[in-house]
Structure 1
Amino acid sequence: MDTTAEISQALPYLRRYARALTGAQSSGDNYAAATLEAILADRTLLGETGSTKTDLFRTFHGIWSTSGAQIEVQEDDAPRKAAQRHLSRLTPNTREALLLHTVEEFSYTDISKIMSIAQTEAEELVDLARREMADAVSGRVMIIEDESIIAMDLEALVVEMGHRVTGVARTHREAVALAGEEMPDLILADIQLADNSSGIEAVNEVMGDLGTCPVIFITAFPERLLSGERKEPAFLIAKPYTQEQVRSAVSQAMFFASTETLN
């Protein structure tokens, strides 16, 4: 596989990582685009680690760190301002290390190359991130999932993390009705639901009727929602998922939840 093909293959996952860090598709994709521009301007950025994907993330990390790792905040965006305050209290580089290890599934060796740190420090950052983020926020979570076993697993994980599950919906109609009873701070949603309806459409209707909150979509085909060509999720995990991926995604997304539930 040539370098261009390798970059194309890795780019959707760089978008996922960038969106999770910034909490939004637009700002995350802007960072991904800046990464590509940097590589086009200086091809020596590739070949530093022995892996094109690792080089891509390494270049991104350099840009992200230089920019001050700031999420995009509009003047009237109170929830994201609150998120920035909470993020500022975390130890630097902990969120990045946690996402790289758990969601993007990089080894500690690769993380050390991406972040230009020792492997032992990468391990320490991930451990510290787990502790800091576990204590940082809590809130109400709605689950939209038609497979009972998966729904039960997600519910158990969310409750174990200290959040409260408002309910589980199996269809588009159930999701809208459940959100109408109590608007959640975070939604975990499958893409394909029991009545062949779309989890994305269900979430869009909930948002249109009741307001916005962070959403983590769960899909067997994440690359289809990471093209950067249309409105797409900021938070995304793939099936089959690991419990650590869910915990990390929920912790990240909760920073962008309602200001009423941020501790």
Structure 2
Amino acid sequence: MTSAAELIAVLPYARRYARALTGTQAEGDAIVAKVLGALPEDLPPKLALYAGITRETENAEHPGPVRTEPLGRHLLLLTTLEELSLADAALVTGLDEDVAAARLSQARDAVRAAAATDVLIIEDEPVIAMDLRMLVTGCGHRVVGIAASEAEAIRVAQEAKPGLVLADINLGRGGNGIVAVRNILANSQVPVIFVTAYPEQLLTAEGVEPAFVMRKPFDPVTLAIFTYQAITAGRVPLP
């Protein structure tokens, strides 16, 4: 039987997964709370939580122009966001590993073909900002501005009206990325992805948290999946 301590240790990751699927902190956390009382007993705690969340969301309507095979989105997030092996992701989704591999491949192709959007990058490190620009452009999106401070981010967002914001948390002397995003969202309903080397620090269950948190460093496929999920979820991560 899974102990309370084991569940507490893996809850932040389960909440991140559920939130990425639903697009909001409230909906994601509600699903996690629902599945806690009926976890599969034949899986380790972390995989059991993922499996319960998958079961609760596999038939949910997913907005956006790109359609994937059943459980394709789940496999994308499990293998990129949650960094599971294909074998573990197959266990979580209840699919044969070969079937899971085929659906994952189809889902990746669908994401690569997704419609592009205008992206604002909030990042104070010039080298990282340029790397992000290259990756975002490589995913088919257009970078409409790079901001190194809270004030600059707010100004660029007002002028360029991006379709997605990609924000670092710590802007050094330029302030805080979360504060910048809160100010941007006061005047627009744009999806946001937060980028940090320490995502666990944003998943503490204390107060409002972002819906999309991407770990540094990351690769082009991971970024493509995150941008697609954030755009098509169509919801705002912070009030």
Task: State whether TM-score is above 0.5.
Answer: yes
Matched, 1:252 2:229: yes
Of residues 239, 259, 262, the one that matches 2:216 is 239
Task: Determine the structure 1 residue equivalent to 2:74.
Answer: 96
Task: Determine the structure 2 residue equivalent to 1:53.
Answer: 46
TM-score, structure 1 length as denominator?
0.83
CA deviation string 1:56-102 (max 9, x = no partner): 2112222223xx2246xxxxxxxxxxxx2536x33221111011011
One-letter amino acid matched to 1:174: E
Of residues 163, 172, 189, the one that matches 1:212 is 189
Contact 2:19 2:27 in 1 (8 A): yes
Distance 2:10 2:216 in 1: 18
Of residues 42, 65, 89, the one that matches 1:86 is 65
Task: Determine the structure 2 residue equivalent to 1:113.
Answer: 91
Distance 1:180 1:64 in 2: 35
Task: Determine the structure 1 residue equivalent to 2:131.
Answer: 153
Contact 1:140 1:185 in 2 (8 A): yes
Map 1:5-16; keep pairs closer than 5 Å: 5-16=5-16
One-letter amino acid matched to 1:234: A
CA deviation string 1:148-201 (max 9, x = no partner): 221111111111111110110011111011112111110000000031511000
SS in 1 for 2:38: helix
Contact 1:29 1:228 in 2 (8 A): no
The 1:85–1:144 alpha-carbon spacing in structure 2 relative to 1, beyond 3 Å, is closer
Which region of structure 1 is more displaced relative to structure 2, 210-219 or 249-258? 249-258
Shift of 1:257: 4.8
One-letter amino acid matched to 2:230: A
Which region of structure 1 is more displaced relative to structure 2, 168-177 or 28-37? 28-37
Extract unaligned runs of 5+ from structure 1. Answer: 40-44, 72-83, 259-263
Contact 2:32 2:53 in 1 (8 A): yes
TM-score, structure 2 length as denominator?
0.91
The 1:85–1:163 alpha-carbon spacing in structure 2 relative to 1, beyond 3 Å, is closer
The 1:70–1:224 alpha-carbon spacing in structure 2 relative to 1, beyond 3 Å, is farther
Extract unaligned runs of 5+ from structure 2. Answer: none
The 1:179–1:85 alpha-carbon spacing in structure 2 relative to 1, beyond 3 Å, is closer
Task: Determine the structure 2 residue equivalent to 1:227.
Answer: 204
Distance 2:55 2:157 in 1: 40
Distance 2:22 2:70 in 1: 15
CA deviation string 1:241-261 (max 9, x = no partner): 333322221121121359xxx
Task: Determine the structure 1 residue equivalent to 2:24.
Answer: 24
Distance 1:37 1:69 in 2: 21
- % identical aligned pairs: 39
Task: Determine the structure 2 residue equivalent to 1:80.
Answer: none
Contact 1:187 1:216 in 2 (8 A): yes
Matched, 1:69 2:60: yes
SS in 2 for 1:103: coil
Number of residues paired by the alignment? 234
One-letter amino acid matched to 2:167: A
Contact 1:186 1:254 in 2 (8 A): yes
Contact 2:129 2:146 in 1 (8 A): yes
Task: Determine the structure 2 residue equivalent to 1:170.
Answer: 148
